[in-house]
Amino acid sequence: MKDKIVIVGQSVQIKRILTLIDKLSRTDTTALIMGESGTGKELVAKMIHLKSLRAEKPFIPVNCAAIPSELLESELFGYEKGAFTGANTQRLGRFEVANEGTIFLDEIGDMPVHLQVKILRVLQEKAFERIGGTKSIHVNVRIIAATNKDLENEVKEGRFREDLFWRLNVVPVVIPPLRERKEDIPLLCDYFIDKFSKKFGYSLQIKQEAMEVLLNYHWPGNVRELENLIERLYVLNDGGVITVEDLPEKIKFGESLLPKTVSDDINPFSAGIDLNEVLKEYEKKLILHALNLHRWIKSRAARYLNINRTTLIEKMKRLGIKDNENSD
């Protein structure tokens, strides 16, 4: 029975990707999936596999960045008994295990150059040798690769083979970061709430004000970060209703508003901090965040900050924050 794979979204970008997946699943063409960490590159690769004629055969993922370079070759191609100290038996590599199916080479931009040559041969000849072996092993494997790096730049810098890049990049699939398809965030929240409600036994409701904060956040960890947030809210929340106060400070206020802690030899604040200036800048950023979050409606921003509207106006004047023409 096939696994159920779902790609959630209604944005133009996601619709294009779903169309591309359908087209790729009808062929054995090599594909290169590009996108930031956490965007769902492996999910796209799995969907291509499961919609293809190879669906009943193995789907073998290999994270090229997670396996030490000295072990990656044996993981991919296997080895013969006696090939090196400790090789007491023959071992099949991932390419052999994936025979007639799909191998997914994740983070291929981190693959050592000497192994890139062997991957190129597999693409061209569908053959390789195990470590310590002399017999060519022939496999029928579809290769899907993925990277969060700019491989064209890696080619220019000499860290990635140009011939391999062009063999992999037959059909590029570019997955946009979550911050570029924010209309999908409510749908993703509903999907993850449904997923975790089965695990925790109850559902969550995200208040509109909290959803606005999620829509304004830049999501450096992409969909994976959003999924982790929903699970965290399930663990920490008891009321079933998520308000702005339930969200982590990082999400409410973006990146850290205070200076990052660095070593004293390069810390520009090592000689001391002008506390008044730091607090003034911090206060200004908080007020701007509240105003932007509430579309510069000062009464709502003031309630969000737990201060009076007149107090907010005074602080804006003192901090040099000019009124937005749409403000109340």
Integer Cα distance of 88 and 107 in angstroms: 30
131 pairs with which residues across the strands? 79
The domain 182-253 having CATH identifier 1.10.8.60: the answer here is yes
> Which string of DSSP letters, residue by residue, matches 191-216?
HHHHHHHHHHSS--EE-HHHHHHHHH
The two tokens of residue 161 are: 């083979």
The strand order across the sheet containing 59-63 reads: 59-63, 102-106, 142-147, 31-34, 171-174
Distant-in-sequence, close-in-space partners of 204: CB < 8 Å, separation ≥ 6: 193, 196, 197, 230, 233, 234, 237, 240, 241, 242
The two tokens of residue 273 are: 């901090």
Q: Structural domain boundaries of the chain?
A: 12-176, 182-253, 275-319
In the numeric block, the tokens 């693959």 are attached to 111
146 pairs with which residues across the strands? 33
In this prediction, residue 83 carries a pLDDT of 87
Integer Cα distance of 118 and 105 in angstroms: 13
In this prediction, residue 328 carries a pLDDT of 62
Q: Tens digit of pLDDT per residue, the chain (328 long)?
A: 445 789 999 999 999 999 999 999 999 999 999 999 999 999 999 999 999 999 999 999 999 999 998 899 999 999 999 888 888 999 999 999 999 999 999 999 999 999 999 999 999 999 999 999 999 999 999 999 999 999 999 999 999 999 999 999 999 999 999 999 999 999 999 999 999 999 999 999 999 999 999 999 999 999 999 999 999 999 998 778 999 999 998 898 765 444 444 444 444 444 556 677 778 888 888 888 888 877 788 888 888 888 988 899 989 988 888 876 455 6
In this prediction, residue 255 carries a pLDDT of 52
In this prediction, residue 324 carries a pLDDT of 67
Cα–Cα distance list, 257 to 201, 209, 280 (Å): 37, 21, 11
Q: Which CATH architecture has domain 275-319?
A: Orthogonal Bundle (1.10)
Integer Cα distance of 76 and 93 in angstroms: 5
pLDDT tens column, 147-159: 999 999 999 999 9
Instruction: State the pairing for strand pair 91-92/78-79.
Output: antiparallel
pLDDT tens column, 267-282: 444 455 667 777 888 8
CATH class, domain 12-176, is alpha beta
Judge whether 72 and 112 are in contact, CB under 8 Å.
yes
User: In what helix (H) or strand (E) does residue 146 lie, and over which residues does it extend?
Assistant: strand 142-147
Q: What angle do CA 149, 153, 154 make, to 5 degrees?
A: 65
Cα–Cα distance list, 241 to 10, 115, 212, 246 (Å): 25, 51, 15, 9
In this prediction, residue 1 carries a pLDDT of 40
In this prediction, residue 276 carries a pLDDT of 75
